[in-house]
Amino acid sequence: MTRPYTHHVFVCTQQRLEDKAYCSNEGSEEIRLELQRRIIKADLADRVDVTPCGCVGLCRRGPVVMVYPEGTWYGGVKLEDVDEIVSSHLTEGKVVERLRIKLEPEQLRGEARVEQSRTRALEAARDEVGAMPERLRRLAGDFQASRAFLTAVELDLFTALGDGVGAAEAAERMGTDPRASEMLLNALTALGLLEKRDGIFTNSADTARFLRRGLPDDARAAVMNRMHMWDTWTTLTECLREGSPLRATAVNSGPSATQAFIAATHRIAKLAAPTMVASLDLSRVSNLLDVGGGSGAYTVAFLKAFPDAKATLLDLPPVIRVATRYVRDAGMEERITIQAGDFVVDPLGSGYDLVLLSYVMHINPPETNKRILAKAFAALEPGGRVVINDYVLNADKTLPRAAALYALNMLVSTHGGNVYSGDEYSAWLAEAGFVDIRTVHLLGPTDVVTARRA
């Protein structure tokens, strides 16, 4: 029997119509993620695999975690139990008896059959009366959880909680209505973002780390960019009728929106940039142009890979004012020239051996992108390369899912922007005179298209 892992851990993450005592409603997804984190920390990732699974029929005993090959089923698992499961069972081979579901196999099967029969009967009854499928119901209602979360970030609720307070004290700190605040706090607890005990609300591990002001991993500014996206997405229906956005883009709608936008893209880029650079087969880079460089995270990653190189970061004046701080924080002021300009209308200069277009092409209509690529060609020395890092759709533009949805984001926020296919990029690059056109698939939402000036 093939056994690539010493242990395989299954976590029930089933979601059901009845939002009651099911594993997913008791935090099973958070437990799955915490198991993965703990397994990595314990250096077990190459030996232990964690997989989400559908209903196993023990809904009233959830969250349910199953460990194989032993076939040990744990019930009522909480986040604080994860460390013991990893350290005792997965590391030392000792079953955590206090969590083990102590039923004989036939008893387990019998209990599961009862729940699964009830579920099948409910599903058959719903189908008989033509009830909307669960997938569509959730699509129609998922905005509620998102809106509650975004409002909490906007109110800086997670900072206001401190080490834990009641609803009245939290409302006083936020300047909100006590009754309304308690309703929001309860909803956030139901979403697994808070914990509530004896009327006191405290942050979950994730909200405590990422959503409290001033801490090292504070991501509030980045999340605030989603607030601005929410505003533009509410206009989607009208944008479809008009074919153009009804509101200003983040970069042009004021300093706070610009800062939130750059903060959001910086966090993404800081994580993705080193991986992207490592994935490229480039000869030594000495002079880089980062077109629409934003915070400079990709520029910094390239300069770390090529210690003797220098770079120019070109972007709009509102962005440059924010980017200057990021470049200074990275200690790259001596190696990065920051240049304010509009890459659509301004010349790009010359003498570069690498032109980077990261998250730039989706902002523009096709004809503008063709002009940008022509200018990139002119800016490169012979043998120099252009690197396009962006969402890249398949030939019929229906996958990946994130890219197809992001195309709608361009509809509501840009004049003529879109997400383009690899075939379109290849055609535009060839038209501009580039050769050796290649697509490099990356982990994450974007891919890379590279080409060389002969």
> Which helix (H) or strand (E) element contains residue 258?
helix 255-279
Q: How far is CA 250 from CA 30, 247, 318, 319, in A?
A: 32, 9, 10, 10
| Whether 7 is catalytic | no
Rounded (5°) CA angle 6-9-11: 175
Phi-psi region of 416 (alpha: psi -120 to 50; beta: other; left: phi over 0): left
Nearest to 234 by CA among 414, 417, 413, 364: 413
For residue 12, give the nearest of 72, 71, 75, 70 by alpha carbon: 75
Cα(357)–Cα(448) distance, integer angstroms: 10
3-state secondary structure of 34: helix
Query: Does residue 400 have a cis bond before it (omega within 30 degrees)?
Result: yes
Tell me which of 89, 362, 415, 441 is the catalytic residue. Answer: 362
∠ CA 416-368-255, nearest 5°, is 65
Name 360's Cβ contacts closer than 8 Å, sequence gap at least 6. Answer: 291, 292, 343, 372, 388, 390
Query: At 439, phi and psi to the nearest 5?
Result: -115, 130
| Phi-psi label, residue 57: left if phi above 0, alpha if psi -120 to 50, beta otherwise | left
Distance in angstroms (rounded) separating the CA atoms of residues 311 and 287: 6
Q: How far apart are CA 47 and CA 285, in angstroms?
A: 39
DSSP conformational letter for 434: E
Which two structure tokens, joined as six digits, stand for 222? 């980045």
Which of 342, 336, 357 has its CA nearest to residue 293? 357
Torsion of CA 270, 271, 274, 277, to 10 degrees: -90
Residue 433, C-beta contacts closer than 8 angstroms, at least 6 positions apart = 374, 377, 453, 454
Supply the residues annotated as catalytic: 362
